[in-house]
Amino acid sequence: MSLRRTATVALALTAGLSLSACSSGTPAAAGSSSDEPVSITFASYNLGTEGAAGEGTQELIDLFMEKNPHITVEGRAIPNAEILTRTRTDVAAGNGPDVVQMGYSKVREALTTLPMQSIEEAAGEEWAEATEGLPQGILNTGDWEGSNHGVPYTVSTPTLFYNATLFEELGLDAENPPETLAEIREAAEVLVDAGHHGVHFGLVSESKADFVAQSVLNSVGGSLTVDDGEDIGIDSDEAKEGFTLLQDLVTDGLMPAVKAEDAMAAFTQGDLGMFINTTAYSSSLVKASESAGWEVRTAGFPELIDGMAPKPTHSGAALMMLSTETAEQQAAWEFIEFMTSPEAYMIITEKIGYLPLRADMVDDPEWLGGYFAENQMLVPALEQLKDVAPYQFFPGERSNQATVTYHDEAVDPILVQGADVDSSLDDVAEKIRAELP
């Protein structure tokens, strides 16, 4: 078979948080409140995608402009893989966006190479109230030079999607999906014996999103960086063990040697039994499965080593600001405030598939209580979010380039091309270290 290319949940991030802290449309400290017309640009990689992500993002923009008729938001659809380089090019040409949705793998390089503005300073006295309730560990990822430059926006944790219908047909327990790598191997063997593909861990993707690879390293006792972020840990014994575990899946015919995009296509066609990736795929997967007449369900990121609890990190993006003029900066802050408000997270969660980062929303019947009472797709990812490991960056001004090098010259070759694990990680680690400041 070939692959075509192509329960009530207590989120418990914080306690006793008030949704009233998240109202939007109030003036920012960057300037006085004004109804004078102003236009801002928003560069977004979700906006350019087909289906729920693109449609949901446009709905957010339209709703914001409806509530703030004096502010016009011009959307720029830019693929995730290009969002940093395109922003850099546009800034150099004097046409930089006011707000950008920056994937977390690119945030550190954006902070060190672009004139990102402090959102915290722009918000002034409104900052504490507006960001109350956001998970502090993820919010702190945007801290730079003493203030926040990146507010968490679209966030998820790696989730195990599985074809429950296929499980039932093959005698697998769809009510109790695999929780460990050993159980995943057992299920994958049954799937492969029946003529299907088994499992796919989404480490390799066109966007070079690093959250699944980091989750693997964390869960085997390793780490992307060491020595307080001053050195890298991709060539550690733990990292090599983690990659060997996954490469063994490929070698044993249990995991197809393809990128996440191709695995996604196979999963939607019912040819792949298990798919580990971001919940951002959930809306599309639900639609595809319902159309094809099978049921998709989710489970948490699996335990990779016996007795060692999984430690997934988060995927997604932060909203960052480049506006420098008072009027545009205030409008940009109001837009960011709205895009991370409870009202926005209704759309972000229900229609796009990312997690709501407002703790009170999950059980509140006026917000997402009813949704989660009926929809279980995001439950495992929500449960992981309270213990999510901090996202890590390669050090230096070439942080994103190091991520690209790591994935193109180690992760991809190991899992798609069958390259030697030890030498690949050693060579790439040496190359990245040579480019560190």
Question: Cα–Cα distance between 419 and 413 in angstroms, integer?
Answer: 5
3-state secondary structure of 41: strand
pLDDT for 13 equals: 40
User: Does residue 14 form part of some domain?
Assistant: no
The separation between the first and the last C-alpha atoms of the chain, rounded to the nearest angstrom, is 47
Asked whether residue 385 carries a pLDDT value surpassing 60, the answer given is: yes
User: Does residue 287 form part of some domain?
Assistant: yes
Q: Which residue has the tokens 């109001």?
A: 334
Rounded mean pLDDT, 399-424 = 96
Q: What is the mean pLDDT of the chain?
A: 91
Is the domain of 164 the same as that of 148? Answer: no
Model confidence at 370, pLDDT cuts 50, 70, 90, reads very high
- Asked which of 107-111, 275-279, 302-306, 397-401 is least confident by mean pLDDT, the reply is 397-401
The DSSP secondary-structure symbol of 194 reads T
Rounded mean pLDDT, 337-349 = 96
- Cβ atoms within 10 Å of 407's Cβ, excluding its own: 23
Is the domain of 355 the same as that of 403? Answer: no
CATH number for the domain spanning 42: value is: 3.40.190.10
Is the domain of 212 the same as that of 289? Answer: yes
pLDDT for 23 equals: 36
Asked whether residue 21 carries a pLDDT value surpassing 80, the answer given is: no
Select from 385, 405, 420 the last residue of a domain. 385
Model confidence at 4, pLDDT cuts 50, 70, 90, reads very low
Question: Cα–Cα distance between 63 and 347 in angstroms, integer?
Answer: 10
Is the domain of 287 the same as that of 141? Answer: no
Nearest to 336 by CA among 100, 170, 140, 110: 100
In this structure, what are the phi and psi dihedrals at residue 276, rounded to the nearest 5 degrees? Answer: -105, 115
Q: Domain total for the chain? A: 2
Asked whether residue 125 carries a pLDDT value surpassing 90, the answer given is: yes
User: Does residue 120 form part of some domain?
Assistant: yes
Is the domain of 326 the same as that of 368? Answer: yes
Is the domain of 102 the same as that of 68? Answer: yes
Is the domain of 146 the same as that of 65? Answer: yes
User: Does residue 2 form part of some domain?
Assistant: no
Is the domain of 168 the same as that of 127? Answer: no
Paired tokens of 364: 């509140």
Is the domain of 85 the same as that of 200? Answer: no
DSSP letters for 73-141:
EEEEE--GGGHHHHHHHHHHTT---SEEEEEHHHHHHHHHHS--B-HHHHHGGGHHHHHTTS-HHHHGG
Is the domain of 140 the same as that of 28? Answer: yes
User: Does residue 201 form part of some domain?
Assistant: yes
- Asked which of 14-23, 149-158, 278-287 is least confident by mean pLDDT, the reply is 14-23
Model confidence at 61, pLDDT cuts 50, 70, 90, reads very high
Question: Cα–Cα distance between 240 and 236 in angstroms, integer?
Answer: 6
In this structure, what are the phi and psi dihedrals at residue 433, rounded to the nearest 5 degrees? Answer: -60, -35
Rounded mean pLDDT, 193-214 = 93
3-state secondary structure 284-328: HHHHHHHHHCCCEEEECCCECECCECCCCECEEEEEEECCCCHHH
Asked whether residue 18 carries a pLDDT value surpassing 70, the answer given is: no
pLDDT for 437 equals: 72
In this structure, what are the phi and psi dihedrals at residue 256, rounded to the nearest 5 degrees? Answer: -65, 140
pLDDT for 278 equals: 92
Select from 364, 385, 406 the last residue of a domain. 385
Q: Does an H or E element contain 190, and which?
A: helix 181-193
pLDDT for 155 equals: 94
pLDDT for 220 equals: 98
User: Does residue 410 form part of some domain?
Assistant: yes
- Greater confidence, 30 or 59? 59
Percent of the chain with pLDDT over 70: 92
Rounded mean pLDDT, 109-135 = 95
pLDDT for 375 equals: 87
Please say whether the beta carbons of 190 and 310 come within 8 A: no
Is the domain of 164 the same as that of 308? Answer: yes
pLDDT for 30 equals: 41
- Amino acid letter at 316? G
- Greater confidence, 62 or 21? 62
User: Does residue 4 form part of some domain?
Assistant: no
pLDDT for 261 equals: 94
- Cβ atoms within 10 Å of 235's Cβ, excluding its own: 20
User: Does residue 379 form part of some domain?
Assistant: yes
Is the domain of 183 the same as that of 330? Answer: no
Range of the domain at 285: 159-313+394-435
- Cβ atoms within 10 Å of 66's Cβ, excluding its own: 8
pLDDT for 33 equals: 53
Rounded mean pLDDT, 281-310 = 94
